[in-house]
Amino acid sequence: MVMKKAKYYLLLILAVVMSGCDDFLEKNPPSKPSENTFWKQKSDLDMALTACYGTMTKFDHGYFSFGMPQWDSFVDNCRSVEEGITFDVFQGNIDPSTAGIIQDVYKGAYVGITRMNLFLYQLDKYENTDLSESERNFSKGQVLFLRAFYYSFLYRCYGDVPLIVEPLDLETQYQPKVEAAKILEQIYTDLNDAINLLPDNTYLELPGRVTKGAALALKTRMMLYDAYNTDGKADVEKMRNALSVAEQIKGYRLCDDFESIFQGSAQETNPEIIFSTKYLAPNNWHKSDLWFGAWLRCAPLTNFVEEFEFKDGTPFSKESDLYNPENPVENRDPRLDMSAFYLQLKIGDVEQPVTGDLPTKYGLKKFVTRDKTQYPIGYNTRSDQDWVHFRYAEVLLAIAEAENEVNGPTQKVYNAINSIRARKGVDMPPLPTGLSQAQMREKIRHERRIELAFEGHRYFDLKRWRIIGEIMNNFDEPTLPLYKSVFEDRFYLWPIPQSEIDKNNGVLVQNPNYK
């Protein structure tokens, strides 16, 4: 019976996961291990674990890694130019048949979850003596984190979804939805187990691997997401718990050079990175230089650019003596120039080609390769900067947010925010003293938008604060008068893709607001 079920597991995986799966999921590939010979030795487990990480790099649109800036195109940070991919979400054209990201995130998350479940199943029954207990725990902790990572997107985007924590066979392949609360409970269960199993090393000590700090960081992120009521008010007890978790993350510090966090040459020794998706050309690469530098797939909006203060800490205003209409980036928070370019992208003194439209006159610079020794003019078509999922600045911002909601604007809050603003190369002045809790709340939200721009946070931040409707329904882009957003309350949760419901034999039902 065990062998029969194992065969079902592999056949089902082969049928539904993806056409280009790694070798350990292929059925009898030429010159490769067969089903009957795989999972027999530690090297097989190592290969399978690498393939689990590989799910984060496999999707064409990169929604879980290098394509994360596209999440900011749903809101007021950047313009979407991809109709049918992200533009429909911005415009409010959301229904069960909407193509693009609404379908791709759902399918992609379950591709990852399916692979994690298969690995955990095989790891649990692996009995060879070539795998030590510490190695087993480390492997399990990493994969539990990755499963929680995928479920975190399903929870925040769709709410009630199927909860699948073991491989499916032909008898169990049709799964109903469960309440979103149970999905969140599973995320916390996986993360708590991962925290107990993973070593307390930093990412520099175990590059490319999930460590305890990453599991704590994801748990903090999810606790903050769940800490606001439907009226946008913070639950103080949940904030207190989130603060406790965030403060357990040790061994990291802010990097002295903001730009280097996102540059391949400096990422290997960066003390701020807690976890990233690793790339290495020519075999494992992405298209971010072309997408965001040349093609302007996410063009920063005026609303976003005007969020950046002047270098003296005063809010942006065209009436200020520091404003230069010929070069609006001048005299501003230096993170503006590090995140966006005005009119023409320059790397050093070299102008780089921009083929996309510049309706707002701004383009995305943050993730574009700065090293032009090999590509002095033009773009690397096989980029390999690692995509940073968690970094210490986000942890400090979480500490500031939670502490402010629990105890008000204490010195702890000021220290966290001011340390980010004082980073070498940024050198922004400290926040003014004497702020009220409400004033500090706005300062923290400002700092999150500036510091974490295009890293995939803004959309989820506006949702958890319950202000996304207010922001987007009153959104205005002066350079694009017809570029309007529509947000309805039902859009807090996306519909289950109709294609998934159609093939689920009547077991999977649609979210109630999309029937």
Q: What is the pLDDT of residues 84-113, one digit of tens each?
A: 578 889 999 999 998 889 999 999 999 999
CA quadruple 141, 151, 220, 301: dihedral sign: positive
CA quadruple 378, 389, 22, 85: dihedral sign: negative
Q: What is the pLDDT of residues 159-198, one digit of tens each?
A: 999 999 999 999 999 999 999 999 999 999 999 999 999 9
Question: Cβ distance 77 to 306 under 8 Å?
Answer: no
Residue spans of the chain under pLDDT 50: 1-32
Coil vs helix vs strand at 142: helix
| Cα angle value 174/108/272 (rounded, 5°) | 135
Average pLDDT over the chain, rounded to an integer:
90
Q: How many CB atoms lie within 10 A of CB 52?
A: 21
Q: What is the pLDDT of residues 13-25, one digit of tens each?
A: 333 333 334 433 3
Q: How many CB atoms lie within 10 A of CB 306?
A: 15
Q: What is the pLDDT of residues 97-153, one digit of tens each?
A: 988 899 999 999 999 999 999 999 999 999 999 999 999 999 999 999 999 999 999
- pTM of the predicted structure, to 2 decimals: 0.92
What was the pLDDT predicted at 471? 97
What was the pLDDT predicted at 20? 37
Which contiguous run of DSSP H or E holds residue 363?
A: strand 362-364
Beta strands 340-342 and 350-351 are unpaired
Distance CA 143, CA 166 (A): 13
Q: Which two tokens stand for residue 490?
A: 């039902």
Show Cβ contacts of residue 184 under 8 Å, excluding neighbours closer than 6 positions.
155, 222, 226
Q: Which residues pair with 79 in a beta bridge?
A: 299
What was the pLDDT predicted at 22? 40
